[in-house]
Amino acid sequence: MQPRAGQNVGQDVTDRVAESTDDAHLARLASGGDRTAAALLVNRYQPTVRGFLRRLTGDGHLADDLTQETMFRMLRHAHAYDPKHAMKTWLLTIARRLWIDHLRRSARRDVLTLEQTEPGNLPAPHESAALAEQREQLDRALQQLSEAQRCAVTLFYQQELSVEQIAVVMHMPQGTVKSHLYRARERLRQIMGINES
Is 104 among the domain residues? yes
174 CB neighbour count, 10 Å cutoff: 14
CATH number at residue 91: 1.10.1740.10
- 197 occurs within a structural domain: no
**Dist CA 147 CA 197 (whole Å):** 28
Answer whether residue 134 is part of any domain: yes
Residue 139 lies inside a defined structural domain of this protein: yes
Using N-to-C axis directions, what is the helix angle for 163-170 and 174-192, rounded to 10°? 100
pLDDT tens-digit readout, 35-80: 999 999 999 999 999 999 998 888 889 999 999 999 999 999 999 9
The domain tally of the chain equals: 1
pLDDT for residue 10 is more than 60: no
Domain-located, residue 81: yes
Q: 3-class SS at 125?
A: coil
pLDDT of residue 12: 55
**Containing domain of residue 108, as a range?**
22-192
